[in-house]
Structure 1
Amino acid sequence: MPFSYPKNEKLKSRKTIDLLFSEGKSVSKYPLRLVYMPVDQADGPLRAGVSVSKKYFKKAVDRNYYKRVLRETYRLNKAILDNLDRPYAFMFFYQTKDRLTYQEINLKTIQLFEKFVSQVNATPIR
């Protein structure tokens, strides 16, 4: 699997994002949180979005830095998500004022993705 984050994997649909927050499930590994929902096969592969709250980082420079870090950790570790039985849409959140290093965020991302995969595989498909 190539280490890329192409346009077709970016979560941009307002309708899907609204559904995520109304019907989606959540898994977290401090300070990261993943809100996810299964999507139709026609929608393509995984759809991922990132978010950093203005509540924790007032300056856009800081928010943009953490969004770049989250996208990069997703890009490098999405191979963990390969063995899912169906495509998912998810939002990836950074939820703390703590300024963690890239290495700490990368480690937490790996743990979060492993927790997500085990939770999804344990849930029966409807």
Structure 2
Amino acid sequence: MKTYSFNKEERLKSRKLIETLFRDGKAFSIFPYRVIYMPTQLPTAKYPLQAGFSVSARKYPRAVDRNRIKRLGRESFRLEKQALLSAMQAKNLQAAVFFVYLDKKIADFSTLRHKFSVILNRLEKELTQA
């Protein structure tokens, strides 16, 4: 049975891990997102993948717009992550991922969901290849 959730434990909140991710992680871009990822070894991690989302305050000065973009991104990720998670569990991998929104306008949900399926397929290839 598939569980379409995005729990508190799946969110990337550790400041130390985020700083390490931005300093040492690898990245690729699939418009409208820049994806920064890094394999991790978290002994207490219940979930194999932790994800964070970011939107530039310079491009979107209104918090309402930033929050909407992050909400759409989290929802798209939540619905599309199953294939990546099953591949990571099969190979016993763990990773931290950060999604940075780059576009100057707010994309609709269907576009973001399609882009997340493409992003997560590429991320699966990158993580299982390494």
Q: Measure, in 2, the Cα distance between the counterparts of 1:89 and 1:8.
A: 12
**What's the offset of the Cα at 1:41?**
4.1
Aligned to 1:26: 27
Aligned to 1:10: 11
Q: Deviations over 1:38-90 (max 9, x none)?
A: 11141412111111111221110000000000110111111021202301011
Number of aligned residues: 123
What's the TM-score once normalised by structure 1's chain length? 0.92
Aligned to 1:64: 67
Give the ranges of 4+ consecutive aligned residues of structure 1 lying more than 6 Å apart after TM superposition. Answer: none
**Any gaps of 5 or more consecutive residues in structure 1?**
none
Is 1:95 aligned with 2:95? no
What do you get for the CA RMSD once the two structures are aligned? Answer: 1.2
Aligned to 1:75: 78
**Any gaps of 5 or more consecutive residues in structure 2?**
none
What's the TM-score once normalised by structure 2's chain length? 0.89
**What's the offset of the Cα at 1:121?**
2.0
Q: Measure, in 2, the Cα distance between the counterparts of 1:52 and 1:43.
A: 29
Q: Measure, in 2, the Cα distance between the counterparts of 1:11 and 1:43.
A: 14
Q: Deviations over 1:24-44 (max 9, x none)?
A: 011221111211111114141
Structure 1 residues 16, 41: closer, same or farther in 2, change over 3 A? Answer: closer
Q: What is the identity percentage for the equivalent residue pairs of Structure 1 and Structure 2? A: 35
Is 1:38 aligned with 2:45? no
Look up the equivalent residue of 2:5 and give its one-letter code: S
Q: Measure, in 2, the Cα distance between the counterparts of 1:61 and 1:7.
A: 22
Look up the equivalent residue of 2:4 and give its one-letter code: F
Aligned to 2:115: 108
